[in-house]
Amino acid sequence: MSVLDNWDQWKGFLGDRLNHAEHEGMDQSAISQLAYEIGDYLAQEVEAKNPQERVLADLWKVASPEEQHAIANMMVKLVQNDGSH
């Protein structure tokens, strides 16, 4: 089963990677840029595996670059907030 098949697993995977990046000293700007690059890759190259990913992919495709950065930043906040509960 792919990490992309389940929304909660996907968020957990992103959260783990985010924690690792922060522990390695990556600053928020670099994390934001990396999240943007991952979002762009996923939207262009990877088939959505669940309804949440489909919504994100659809929004990404119609968003301006500034809006795409906002989406990426919101995903970072989402997984940061999930990790703090």
Q: Mean pLDDT, to the nearest integer, of 7-24?
A: 83
The 8-class DSSP code of residue 24 comes to T
pLDDT of residue 85: 46
Q: pLDDT above 90 covers what percent of the chain? A: 22
Q: Could you tell me if residue 26 is left (phi over 0), alpha (psi between -120 and 50 degrees) or otherwise beta?
A: beta
| pLDDT over 80 at 1, yes or no | no
pLDDT greater than 80 at residue 58: yes
pTM (two decimals): 0.78
Tokens of 81: 């907030």
